[in-house]
Amino acid sequence: MAWNSVIMAPRVKEILSWYGADNPGTLTNLARLLNHGTLGGTGKMVILPVDQGFEHGPARSFAMNPAAYSPLYHFELAIEAGCNAYAAPLGFLEAGAREFAGDVPLILKLNSKDLTSDEKDPISARTGTIDDALRLGCSAVGFTIYPGSALRLEMYEQLAEFAHEAKQAGLVVIVWSYPRGTSLSKEGETAMDVDGYAAHIACQIGAHIVKIKLPTAHLEQAAAKKVYETEKVPIATTAERVRHCVQCAFDGRRILIFSGGPSESDEKLLDSIRAIREGGGFGSIIGRNSFQRSKKDGLKLLRQIMEIYADQKK
């Protein structure tokens, strides 16, 4: 059900009802995200993010599919695949926002980080503004935080400022919450307790939509581990872990979506989509898996993912 339908889908109405503190401007933009594309009206989302050029370098991101060097390519991919939205840093959005104005909801990534050295306690540079998002016709802004980094409090403050300004401007706030930093082991970055905590923090700072990685069954923090074991929190399967993450995100009253992660076999990726659906997750952000192959193959994969999400009863 597309966003210009005469009657809004009940599930979208329900989701909007959770955001009682927001102004009608933000609700309108949230509805635009939820009502656009193949999954419009289902309450599920698949978003195309393309910040890898900035984060990993252009050749590492696009050399395997050189058409993707063009900023126009990603707008087309998101539109043709029927994604709910397309997310990118300032430059990539500036380079196509006029050509594709109104074709797909846009998300401006407000901060980015490059990779010229291995940083132990990461933080990103703020390279976009709320005003940029408005002048480019975006429906939402995106911001990355790294809970676990020694610089996390600084990021939380930056996010709080952006979120406050975005809400006044009627924009949706989407937080990429990625645990990382010297206070965590490598395994701890996707630990169940840490990942749920990361989702909760983003919600507490005021995110409308939170994106995390799929957690493993590892438990990182001793004090948390004890509680998970004592209370017998079910986290054995991916679907159970997704369900627990949803619980951590205000008991399901905030939209929680998951990243696709690095290229693995398509079948494994689709299995994880099924687990997200089963666990009550709200969708996926699929970047490298969609644009680091031919457009035909990328479209095919994105449609398979959307079919899985569309398939569920709800």
Q: Which of residues 123-142 bind a second copy (CB under 8 A)?
A: 123-129, 131-132, 135-136
Supply the minimum distance, in Å, between the C-beta of residue 160 and a second copy: 4
Residue 253 as a binder of a second copy (CB under 8 A): the answer is yes
Q: Of 3 and 178, which has the nearer Cβ to a second copy?
A: 178
Report how far residue 251's alpha carbon sits from residue 100's, in angstroms, rounded to the nearest whole number. 37
Which two structure tokens, joined as six digits, stand for 186?
């490598």
Helix 266-279 vs helix 238-248: crossing angle, to nearest 10: 50
Q: Which residues of 208-241 are buried (b: 16+ CB within 10 A; e: fewer)?
A: bbbbbbbbbebbbbeebeeebeeeebebeebbbb
| CA angle, residues 74, 280, 263, in degrees to nearest 5 | 40
Residue 96 as a binder of a second copy (CB under 8 A): the answer is yes
Which two structure tokens, joined as six digits, stand for 291?
């644009």
Residue 176 as a binder of a second copy (CB under 8 A): the answer is no
- Which member of 167, 211, 226, 300 is catalytic? 211
Judged by CB under 8 A, which of 80, 250, 261, 299 binds a second copy?
250
Helix 295-311 vs helix 266-279: crossing angle, to nearest 10: 30
Judged by CB under 8 A, which of 140, 193, 242, 293 binds a second copy?
193
Say whether 225 is catalytic: no
Supply the minimum distance, in Å, between the C-beta of residue 196 and a second copy: 6
Supply the minimum distance, in Å, between the C-beta of residue 51 and a second copy: 8
Residue 28 as a binder of a second copy (CB under 8 A): the answer is no
35-94 binders of a second copy (CB under 8 A): 53-54, 56-60, 63-64, 66, 69-72, 89-94
- Classify the phi-psi angles of 133: left when phi > 0, otherwise alpha if psi is within -120 to 50, otherwise beta: alpha
255-314 binders of a second copy (CB under 8 A): none
Catalytic residue set: 211
